[in-house]
Amino acid sequence: MHFMCCFFYTLVHKHQLMGRIPINIIKYTEEDTLYKKAQTNFQLVIIDDLKGWNRCYTSNLQELTNFRNEISVVIESLSLSENLNISVELAKRIEKTNLNDEICISCTHKKSRSCVTCLEELQSPLERKLYAKLLDAKVYFEVQYPMNKVGKKASLIDDTQNDLRLKYRDLLTQVDFFLPNKNPICVYTDGHTYHERTEEQAKRDRSIDRKLQELGFVVLRFTGKEINESLSMVVNQVMKLVEMKN
């Protein structure tokens, strides 16, 4: 007597790995109707578009789990330098700062790409404090944004120059934090109060603010005292404008 086994294949899930890795993972269930059993397996399909071929590997759950764990081990073994694609020297600086710096201790973005911006591009502790909180607010912004006299991003002339007037063409101002909303917002962190500014500094700031406002920008300037003592209020003020202008 011969028995016939009937198998049914059910495609359950297909997942393509993101980015440049040309692998599809297909989960499927094989059902044996005679013995009322079901087995879930996985196909890893490697795609080579240039050579015009696919290679398929079948695995069970345990084999796929082992493969995932091996990938995790490799990823977790990466140094900060390798993970962020930065120099070993900069990675060591970030790790040391993350451990010892007062601003970093409470920051939720340690050992991330944001650390590079924070330590390499920002120019003062005030900027760093506000930067971390704006990241927490999940609002899009750009730091140290060079603005020309018609309200566009200034063209780079010479990246080796420290003097901004020589570095950028037709520069009006470098905005500490630029939020490009419908009515864009320019945020500055001033390391002095109004009374601590010299008349020349105050005159220059008023001139820049007027020009930006004429171009349709909203300008916010926060003192060191406001950022150091009322940082939440500062962020709330920025976010209210963001919500109004979007």
Digit-coded pLDDT (tens) for 95-134: 999 999 999 998 999 999 999 999 999 999 999 999 999 9
User: Does residue 156 have a pLDDT over 80?
Assistant: yes
Evaluate if pTM is beyond 0.75.
no
Mean pLDDT check: name the lowest of 47-61, 112-126, 144-158, 187-201.
187-201
Among 43-52, 164-173, 224-233, whose mean pLDDT is lowest? Answer: 43-52
Kind plus residue range of the DSSP H or E element containing 11: strand 7-16
Asked whether the beta carbons of 175 and 232 are under 8 A apart, the reply is no
**CA distance linking residue 179 with residue 98, whole number of Å:** 27
Looking at residue 7, its pLDDT comes to 44
% of the chain beyond a pLDDT of 70:
88
| 24: β partners | 16, 45
The pLDDT, as a whole number, for residue 63 is 92
Question: Which residue would you say has higher pLDDT here, 227 or 77?
Answer: 227
**Identity at 54, one-letter amino acid code:** N
Among the listed residues 24, 96, 28, 15, the one whose alpha carbon sits nearest the alpha carbon of residue 61: 28
Query: Does the pLDDT value for residue 15 go beyond 70?
Result: no
Tens digit of pLDDT for each residue in 163-203? 888 898 899 999 999 999 888 999 999 865 544 567 788 88
Q: Name residue, tokens 């079948």.
A: 58
Between residues 62 and 36, the one the model is more confident about: 62
pLDDT of residue 181: 83
Report whether pLDDT(23) > 80.
Answer: yes
Match 């759950």 to its residue by tokens. 61
**Mean pLDDT estimate for the chain:** 86
Per-residue pLDDT band at 80 (split at 50, 70, 90): very high
Question: Given strand 142-148, what is the order of strands in its sheet?
Answer: 142-148, 171-179, 185-190, 218-223
Model pLDDT, residue 16: 55
| Candidate from 21-25, 46-50, 194-198 with smallest mean pLDDT | 194-198
The residue ranking higher by pLDDT, 92 or 36, is 92
Strand order in the sheet with 23-32: 7-16, 23-32, 37-48, 53-59
Asked whether the predicted pLDDT for residue 13 surpasses 60, the reply is no
DSSP β-ladder status, 185-190 and 218-223: parallel
Q: Distance (Å, rounded) from C-alpha 120 to C-alpha 216?
A: 30
If 0-12 CB within 10 Å is exposed, 13-18 middle and 19+ buried, where does residue 125 land? middle
State the pLDDT at residue 8.
Answer: 47
Q: Is the distance from CB of 37 to CB of 31 less than 8 angstroms?
A: yes
